[in-house]
Structure 1
Amino acid sequence: MKSLQILCPVFREEEIILEFHERLREAVRPLRERYSIAVTYALDPAPDRTEEILLALAERDPEVRVLVMSRRFGHQAALMAGIDTCQADALIMLDSDGQHPPELIPRLVEAWEGGSQIVQTMRRDGNETGFLKRSTSAMFYRLISRIGSIELQSGAADYRLLDRAVVQVIRDRLPETNIFLRGIVAWVGYRISFIEFEPLRRLKGASKYRPSVLVNFAIQGISSFSKTPLRLCTITGLFVAMLSMLAAAGQMAAYFLFGHSDVQGWASLMTFVSLLGGVQLFFMGILGEYLGQIFDEVKRRPRYLIRTDSAARPDASPGAAAQTVPGPSEHV
């Protein structure tokens, strides 16, 4: 019997996590005749009862595994924790807030059985999603597809199925510290199929994604898969340098031909200098983003630390659950 692992990142979902789990169990019930199914919850800790509820659930249900991070490492790190611990034939990842419908899982498995090694869901937002969020999301996907080294389909969500071969490639051969999984899944290739879905309303509560988190997510994606911003710095610098040389040549010609130079127009001069200073600072910021990426990579710090693993043996030595991913040749 083949195996499926379902991975759900969790952060502050004490109000809905049990309801989500029951809904998930019902959604995968038709698959149990052909597959052994395990559920992994990767939890970013928070001062609520989510950890307590999930650990109690894992004690009652042997199919449930809970990975509790030592601190909040973020959504992408939680997904990587599940990837690093996956031993199943296929890994299915979806959010635990109810917006990714678990009822779609049988369709993902069906596409995988048909030969797809990656089954990627495509989010189609309706009127329940605000206009600003829809427009900025569409702009991001268009931008990264135009200037990046990947073709990222508009609406690609972190709700997908990955074959064991793809999981092994991401886990063993892509040791990036600040990983952008949506881009990585598009970059690795393999046979891929797409399934559209309309996101549902959250079961309860509000989204934990602040605008600043989404902006950082977009910057991470662009800087991971595109060098165009750096080339833009070079092109703009050359353009401004050419304008400066033309202006200097004009001043010299005016001096030798007419015996004077134009010293008027201080307002326009200061405007140009201020504009040039702003452009320089902006491009220094772009360089800083890429330099920060390099800084994170060369330090080789682990993507995450696991404080508690409900699957750890009771007789394990202290600290055995504090697993890390220190480098490309080592994994959980």
Structure 2
Amino acid sequence: MKTLTIISPVYNEEEVINDFYTELTGVLAGLSPRYQSKILFVVDRSTDASFEILKSIAEQDKAVQILLMSSRFGHQMSLLAGIDHSDSDVLIMLDSDLQHPPSLIPKMLMKYEQGYDIVYTIRQDSKDISIFKRLTSKLFYKIINKLSDVPINESAADFRLISNRVAKTFKHKIRERNQFLRGLFSWVGFRSTSIYFQVRKRKAGRSKYSLNRMVQFGLEGVVSFSKKPLKAAIITGFIFALFGLIYALISVVQYFIYASLPSGWTTLVFLVSIFSGVQLIFLGIIGEYIGAIFDEVKGRPHYIIEDKVNFHRDE
């Protein structure tokens, strides 16, 4: 009998967490002849009663484990914490808001049994997803795929299966601070396949990805997987420097040919504005890369665990 761990990040899901647990355990019960299953909830320091509800569930079900983060470290670090604290043959990551259907788990395991180390899912958005969110998502993945050498499907979700050997790679070898997991799971290789699923309408609560968090997530993805923006800064710098040199030569010629010249205030403002804007944009790009280096140099832990439930002392 193989072992299976379901890793589920939780952040302010008190309205739906009981329903998620009930549906998930129903699916896992059907796997019991072949898999010994447990559920690992990673609570990202919620402000509601999510942790208390899960503690009550864990008291009744010893196959439920809980990690409580000491602060809000984010969705990606919650998944990493789950990987770090699991040693099962198979790990499956899915969100606890019921938009990722647990009913897909048996199909994912069938792919694993066929020899795949990574089974990732590709979402088919429901009609209630806003046009703005769809367009921004498409734009983000178009940009990152243009910039990155690692192709990432624009509809890929953080609902995936990985084998134990993939998990060990992340535990012991991939320890960078700002982890963009969707890209990293493509980068590590191994034999992988995909499954399509229909995103469910959110049953309760609201999305935890604000516009600000989506932008930050996108920046981390670009910085993690591409140096092309830095190369673009160099090329653009050369182009503008060449343009400035040509204009300077023209100005010198005009100075000697014409006795008097117009003030040129409009031209001056125009050039200063363009050059200043471009410089600030690329200083911002360079700053993002320097910030990523700074995070690595500091060497702070990826996350801090405040409490563990249903873990042995040595875990």
Cα shift at 1:154 = 1.5
In the alignment, structure 1 residue 292 sits paired with structure 2 residue 310? no
- Structure 1 window deviating more from structure 2 (42-51 vs 261-270): it is 261-270
Matched AA of 1:209: Y
Residue in 1 that maps onto 2:276: 277
1:107–1:261 CA distance, 2 compared to 1 (3 A): farther
Matched AA of 2:15: E
Residue in 1 that maps onto 2:52: 52
Residue in 1 that maps onto 2:153: 153
Matched AA of 2:90: A
Cα shift at 1:259 = 4.6
Matched AA of 1:184: L
Cα shift at 1:38 = 0.7
The unaligned stretches of length 5 or more in structure 1 are 321-331
Q: Secondary structure at the match of 1:68?
A: strand
In structure 1, C-alpha distance between the alignment counterparts of 2:136 and 2:260, rounded to whole Å: 49
In the alignment, structure 1 residue 216 sits paired with structure 2 residue 216? yes
Matched AA of 1:254: Q
Cα shift at 1:262 = 4.1
Residue in 2 that maps onto 1:202: 202
Q: Secondary structure at the match of 1:209?
A: coil
Residue in 1 that maps onto 2:75: 75
Q: Secondary structure at the match of 1:48?
A: coil
Residue in 2 that maps onto 1:127: 127
Residue in 1 that maps onto 2:19: 19
Residue in 1 that maps onto 2:238: 238
Q: Secondary structure at the match of 2:294?
A: helix
Q: CA RMSD in A?
A: 1.4
Q: Secondary structure at the match of 1:31?
A: coil
Residue in 2 that maps onto 1:309: 308
In structure 1, C-alpha distance between the alignment counterparts of 2:298 and 2:103, rounded to whole Å: 42
- Structure 1 window deviating more from structure 2 (263-272 vs 289-298): it is 263-272
In the alignment, structure 1 residue 113 sits paired with structure 2 residue 143? no
Matched AA of 2:69: M
Matched AA of 1:284: L
In structure 1, C-alpha distance between the alignment counterparts of 2:77 and 2:273, rounded to whole Å: 41
Residue in 2 that maps onto 1:227: 227
Q: Secondary structure at the match of 1:219?
A: helix
1:279-306 deviation per Cα after TM superposition (whole angstroms, max 9, x unaligned): 1111111111111100000111000010
CA contact (8 A) 1:15 1:204 kept: yes
Cα shift at 1:261 = 6.8
Q: Secondary structure at the match of 2:128?
A: coil
Q: Secondary structure at the match of 1:279?
A: helix
Matched AA of 2:207: S
In structure 2, C-alpha distance between the alignment counterparts of 1:89 and 1:212, rounded to whole Å: 37
Runs of 4+ residues deviating >3 angstroms: 259-264
Cα shift at 1:268 = 2.3
Q: Secondary structure at the match of 1:129?
A: coil
Residue in 2 that maps onto 1:61: 61
In structure 1, C-alpha distance between the alignment counterparts of 2:163 and 2:307, rounded to whole Å: 27
Matched AA of 2:296: E
1:54-103 deviation per Cα after TM superposition (whole angstroms, max 9, x unaligned): 11111110110000001111111110110001100110000000100111
Q: Secondary structure at the match of 2:179?
A: coil
Q: Secondary structure at the match of 2:30?
A: helix
Show the 5 A alignment for 1:1-40: 1-40=1-40
CA contact (8 A) 1:6 1:39 kept: yes
CA contact (8 A) 1:251 1:262 kept: no
In structure 2, C-alpha distance between the alignment counterparts of 1:229 and 1:311, rounded to whole Å: 46
Residue in 2 that maps onto 1:192: 192
Cα shift at 1:189 = 0.6
Equivalent residues, number: 315
TM-score, normalised relative to structure 2: 0.97
Matched AA of 2:182: R
The unaligned stretches of length 5 or more in structure 2 are none
Cα shift at 1:142 = 1.5
Percentage identity across paired residues of the two chains: 42
Matched AA of 2:150: I
1:98–1:267 CA distance, 2 compared to 1 (3 A): same
In structure 2, C-alpha distance between the alignment counterparts of 1:261 and 1:124, rounded to whole Å: 67
Show the 5 A alignment for 1:157-196: 157-196=157-196
Q: Secondary structure at the match of 2:212?
A: helix
CA contact (8 A) 2:117 2:192 kept: yes
TM-score, normalised relative to structure 1: 0.92
1:81–1:261 CA distance, 2 compared to 1 (3 A): farther
CA contact (8 A) 1:158 1:182 kept: yes
Cα shift at 1:126 = 3.2
CA contact (8 A) 2:65 2:311 kept: no
In structure 2, C-alpha distance between the alignment counterparts of 1:41 and 1:311, rounded to whole Å: 11
